[in-house]
Amino acid sequence: MPAYDLSGRLVVGVASSALFDLTESDAYFREHGVAAYSEYQDRNVDVTLEPGPAFPFIQRLLQLNDLRPGDPLVEVIVLSRNAATTGLRVMRSIERHQLPVTRAFFTQGRSPLSYIGALGMSLFLTQNQDDVLTAVRAGHPAGHVLPSAATYDMTDRSLRIAFDFDAVLATDESERIFQTEGIDGFVANEVAKRDVAHVPGLLKPLLADLNRIQRIEADLQEQDADYEPRVRIALVTARAAPAHERAVQSLRSWGVTINDAFFLGGIEKATVLEVLRPHLFFDDQHGHLSGALEHVAGVHVPYGVANETLAEAAGVEI
């Protein structure tokens, strides 16, 4: 039997902490330790875990596999520090929630992060901040999924994803200039370099993979005018004119596209996100996420100059 080829697919790694609500399990582990935690999960192996903050995104992402039956567009793999035995509850919960996830790596207390690159993942999601910091340091596209009060219509199959630009889709080159030279220096730099594409950041490959799925949907819409594309991608950035142009030209140079662009120029991002309601919003700054968590699932990408203090506190160099 030939090996299962992951190339040409959008591969996402997800920790059980992001997929399910493990608040109770984590509290038990911290209070009682590893051995008691293992027994606790054995006793509760058939108690289905409730969805966590990344669940709506993962569910809708996997539903896109019906666009190419028999040859999945999306592969989701569980990456967990649990042992295989304690991971049984996670896998049974996946089955009961009818998520077509069949692959899982359980590494019993050791970090599974080296498998992100080995499997060509475009994204790794977890609620373990230290793991994300370590992954980002190694150049992996990882995000810290924050606790969220957002709820979504589970009968709606559309998938909405929003990205910040600087230090998310692009590197933090311009953010560093803003930090040292202020807004005037930032704008002057962006105007002077408006035809010079930014260096792609950690999540640009994810956008490219999503665009590949969107092209399949565009073909379907050409064949059937009534087909409504499910994937919609937005750029939500604090940039404004004239600094917006370099971001647009960079996306074009990279060969990627977005559906919606919001150049806010200081307007609170939560104002737009409450209306847009993305299933995930990626930003490099906690301040832009905290006000929106009532409305969206927020993912902190701890990359670049804005996160150096956070990384230093955790003993990680970014």
Active-site residues, by number, are: 164
Residues β-bridged to residue 123: 12
Q: Check if the beta carbon of residue 175 is closer than 8 Å to that of residue 166.
A: yes
- Report how far residue 287's alpha carbon sits from residue 268's, in angstroms, rounded to the nearest whole number: 10
SS3 state of residue 93: helix
Q: What would you report as the CA-atom Rg of the chain, rounded to the nearest whole angstrom?
A: 20
For 202-265, give the DSSP string. TTHHHHHHHHHHHHHHHHHHHH-TT----EEEEEEES--TTTHHHHHHHHHHHT---SEEEE-T
User: How many whole angstroms from its chain centre is CA 74?
Assistant: 14
For 57-90, give the DSSP string. HHHHHHHGGGGSTTS-SEEEEEEESS-TTTTHHH
User: How many whole angstroms from its chain centre is CA 176?
Assistant: 23
- Report how far residue 19's alpha carbon sits from residue 96's, in angstroms, rounded to the nearest whole number: 13
Between helix 244-254 and helix 173-192 the angle, nearest 10°, is 100
For 151-189, give the DSSP string. ---TT---EEEEE-IIIIIB-SHHHHHHHHHHHHHHHHH
